[in-house]
Structure 1
Amino acid sequence: MAKTLAERLAAHFAGFTYDKLTDDNRKAVKRLLLDYLGVAVAGSQTGSGKVARQYAASMGGHAQATLIGDGARVPAMQAAFANAISSHSVELDDIDVLALFHFSPPVYSAALATAEQVSAGGRELLAALAAGCEMMERLSKAANNSLRNRGYHTTPTCGVFGAAIAASQLLRLSEEQIVSALGLTGAQAGGLMEMYGPSMQKRFNPGPASRSGITAAAMAQLGFTGAATIFDGERGFLAAFTDANQPGQLVAGLDQPYQLDIEFKPYSCARPIHNAIDCALEIRRKHAPDLERVKRIQMARHPDWALYHQNAHPSTYHEAQVSLPYSVAVALTDGQALFAQYNNARLKEPMLVRLSEMVEISVDDSLPRGVSCRMTMEMDDGARHVSQVDYPKGSIQNPMSDAELRAKFDSLAVPVLGKGRAAEAAAMVENIEECRDIGELMRLLAPSEK
Structure 2
Amino acid sequence: MNLSLAPSATIAEQLAAHFQALDYDSLGNASRKALKRLLLDYLGVAVSGSQTGPGRVAGAYALSTGGRPEAALIGGSSRAPAEMAAFANAISSHSVELDDIDVLALFHFSPPVYSAALATAEQRSASGKDLLVSLAAGCEMMERLSKAANSSLRDRGYHTTPTCGTFGATIAAAKMLGLSADETVSALGLAGAQAGGLMEMYGPSMQKRFNPGPASRNGVTAATIAQLGFTGAATIFEGERGFLAAFTDENFPERLTEGLDQAYQFDIEFKPYSCARPIHNAIDCALEIRKRHAPDLKKISRILMERHPDWAHYHQNAKPLTYHEAQVSLPYSVAVALSDGQALFAQYDNARLTQPELRRLAAAVEITVDETLPRGVSCRMTAIMEDGTRHTAQVDYPKGSIQNPMNDAELRAKFDSLVIPVLGQERATAIADCVADIEHCGNVRDLMALLQPGQEGLAA
Q: What is the TM-score with the length of structure 2 in the denominator?
A: 0.97
- Does 1:42 pair with 2:48? yes
Counterpart Cα distance in 1 of 2:269 and 2:383:
28
Counterpart AA for 1:406 = R
Corresponding residue for residue 4 of structure 2: none
SS state at 1:361 partner: strand
Displacement, 1:63?
1.1
The alpha carbon displacement at 1:24 in A equals 1.1
Match of 1:316 in 2: 322
Aligned to 1:412: 418
Shift of 1:102: 0.1
The gaps in structure 2 that reach 5 residues or longer are 1-6
Per the TM alignment, residue 447 of structure 1 is displaced from its structure 2 partner at its CA by 2.5
Code of the aligned partner of 1:436: G
Q: 2:307 aligns with which of 301, 310, 322?
A: 301
Paired position in structure 2 for 1:441? 447
Per-residue CA deviations over 1:328-359 (Å, capped at 9, x if unaligned) read 00000000000000010010101100000000
Q: Secondary structure at the match of 1:140?
A: helix
In 1, Cα distance between equivalents of 2:422 and 2:455? 10
Q: Specify the alignment match of 1:112 in structure 2.
A: 118
- Choose the corresponding residue for 2:266, options 260, 271, 276: 260
- Matches of 1:221 and 1:292, distance apart in 2: 63
| Structure 1 residue runs without a partner (length 5+) | none
Structure 2 residue 100 is the aligned partner of structure 1 residue 97: no
- Runs of 4+ with >6 A deviation: none
The residue type equivalent to 2:277 in the other structure is R
Counterpart of 1:70, as a letter, is G
SS at match of 1:25: helix
Deviations 1:267-314 (A, max 9, x none): 000000000000000000000000011011000000000000000000
**CA-CA distance at 1:18 after TM superposition:** 1.0
User: CA shift at 1:381, angstroms?
Assistant: 1.3
Whole-angstrom distance in 1 between the partners of 2:216 and 2:297: 44
Secondary structure of the structure 1 residue equivalent to 2:157: coil
Percent identity (aligned): 74
Aligned partners of 1:125, 1:442: CA distance in 2, in Å?
12
Q: Which amino acid aligns with 1:297?
A: I
Amino acid paired to 1:433: E
In structure 2, C-alpha distance between the alignment counterparts of 1:448 and 1:390, rounded to whole Å = 44
Q: Which residue of 2 aligns with 1:230?
A: 236
Q: CA deviation at 1:448?
A: 4.3
Contact 2:77 2:455 in 1 (8 A): no
Q: Which of 337, 342, 345 is 1:331 aligned to?
A: 337
Per-residue CA distance 1:191-228 (angstroms, 9 max, x = gap): 00000000000000000000000000001100111000
Q: In 2, Cα distance between the equivalents of 1:448 and 1:308?
A: 42
**Distance in 2 of aligned mates of 1:355 and 1:446:** 41
Are the aligned partners of 1:299 and 1:375 in contact in 2 as well (CA < 8 Å)?
yes
Number of equivalenced pairs: 450
The reply on whether 1:15 has 2:16 as its aligned counterpart is no
Checking the alignment, whether the CA contact within 8 Å between 1:421 and 1:448 is kept in structure 2 is: no
Structure 1 match to 2:156: 150
| Residue 359 of structure 1: aligned partner | 365
Q: Determine whether 1:217 maps to 2:223.
A: yes
Letter in 2 for 1:340: A
Aligned partner of 1:125: which letter?
L
Structure 1 counterpart SS, 2:368: strand
Scaled by the length of structure 1, the TM-score of the pair is 0.99
Aligned-partner SS, 2:366: strand
Structure 1: distance between partners of 2:354 and 2:454: 36
Aligned mates of 2:286, 2:430 — CA distance in 1: 37
Instruction: Give 1:58's aligned amino acid.
Output: S
Q: Alpha-carbon deviations, 1:171-193, whole Å to 9, x = none?
A: 01111110000000000000000
Match of 1:393 in 2: 399
For 2:69 and 2:303, the matched residues in 1 are separated by: 54
- 2:51 aligned with 1:77: no
Q: Does structure 1 residue 162 correspond to structure 2 residue 168?
A: yes
Partner of residue 384, structure 1: 390
Render the CA deviation track for 1:88-119: whole Å, top value 9, x for unaligned. Answer: 00000000000000000000000000000000
Aligned match of 1:350: 356
Q: Over the residues paired in the alignment, what is the CA RMSD in angstroms?
A: 0.9
Match of 2:197 in 1: 191
Instruction: State the distance in 2 between where 1:252 and 1:312 align.
Output: 43
